[in-house]
A and B are shown apart, each in its own frame.
Chain A
Amino acid sequence: MTTNVETTEEYAPELPVRLEWAEHAPEVFKAMVRLDAAARKGLDARLLELVKIRASQINHCAFCLDMHTKDALAAGESVERLVQLSAWEESRHFYTAKELAALELTEAVTVLTDGFVPDEVYERAAKHFEEAELAQLIASITVINAWNRFGVTCRKTPGHYRPGQHA
């Protein structure tokens, strides 16, 4: 693991990965990579990282949090906006109205098990994103949810990602 915090006490050991699923299901993996590339077309890169980090927080995906916070920071995102992200409803002045609409939609599409995507959430997003861009946003929220599920289920190890590694 990489960390800049000096301590004399030992950190807990890394948990081992459960399954190298990409090696065991290479055709599924390759299709997922194509899906990711297709879904991100036309979306603002900075907005997309916020969406991916927020979904990864809600789904508790350590690997995806490691990857997307590093990519966001490397692309010039502010530490403050990343730190505030899990409380964005109370720190709205850190984000644009378009980003807020995207974050709200991200939460609704991510937490389907508690029920549907409310009309008002969808409509707010539709005010800020034209139809084709909104379809890409929904697809990208779907894709990060998929990566979160692979990461959590197979217990991919966080801490080793280098910015831009999977770009």
Chain B
Amino acid sequence: MTARTTRLDDGVRAALRAAGAAAKKGLADPGLAELVQIRASQLNHCAFCLDMHLAIARKDGVVSEAQLDLLDAWEEAGDVFDARERAALELTEAVTVLTGGTSRACGSGGGFVPDEVYERAARHFDAAVLAHLIGLIIVINSWNRLMVGRRIPPGSTEW
């Protein structure tokens, strides 16, 4: 499979890289950063980003194999993920899936980030760290869109 296009403005690429680097620095937790980026890439079905971030996560064991194996079912994974990781993953899912359903009033979804999800995250992360965590979730969502939209194949060196 070849890319639809590898075109991307250099300024776009540089700014998004800078946003990601600043977000990761403020989060200051490389393992959690990879968990969050892999989970968003699973939800957005981004093959390129999954390939890249699974490789980073496995390198030097920054995330355990048990966590990588069970990430797609983290809610049912018992104590493989601690409370802080679960709060971050729950926030990742809420921020990533804004579009779901048509009406909260009718119980068919309707998007948004539920208060209880936000508040659980705010209990585990102070405001500055939380702001960077949210930033990182949004940056990986952005890469997911750029890669899926242009269909950049996993492992591709030109993107």
Contacts and interface: CB of A to CB of B under 8 A. Distances in A.
B54 interface: no
Interface of chain A, helix or strand or loop or mixed?
Answer: helix
Interface stretch (A66-74, A110-118, A158-166): A110-118
Interface in B1-33: 4-5, 7-9, 11-12, 14-16, 18-19, 22-23, 25-26
Interface residues of A, number: 51
B16 A132 contact: no
B154 interface: no
A1 interface: no
Contacts of A114: 99
B120 interface: no
A88 interface: no
A60 B98 CA distance: 7
Given A32-B15, A34-B18, A116 B148 contact: yes
A75 interface: no
B22 A39 contact: no
A121 to B, nearest CB: 10
Contacts of A132: 7
Interface string B139-150: 101101110111
B40 to A, nearest CB: 10
B22 A25 contact: yes
B52 interface: no
Interface string A35-59: 1011101000000000000000011
Given A24-B127, A112-B44, A153-B118, A148 B98 contact: yes
Contacts, number: 162
Given A112-B144, A117-B151, A138-B149, A21 B45 contact: no
Chain B, interface residues (CB within 8 Å), range: 35 or more
A37 B16 CA distance: 12
B135 A28 contact: yes
A19 B127 contact: yes
Contacts of B25: 27
Given A117-B151, A143-B142, A150-B138, A38 B128 contact: no
B111 A25 contact: no
Residue from B14, B98, B118, B142 whose CB has the most chain A CB atoms within 10 Å: B98
Given A39-B9, A145-B141, 20 more contacts: A24-B131, A25-B128, A25-B131, A28-B139, A35-B15, A41-B9, A59-B111, A105-B149, A110-B99, A110-B145, A111-B99, A112-B45, A116-B148, A117-B148, A134-B5, A146-B138, A146-B142, A149-B95, A149-B134, A152-B98
6 contacts: A27-B25, A31-B16, A34-B14, A113-B45, A139-B9, A149-B95
Closest 9 CB pairs of A and B: A38-B11, A24-B131, A31-B19, A27-B22, A35-B15, A135-B7, A25-B131, A28-B135, A34-B15
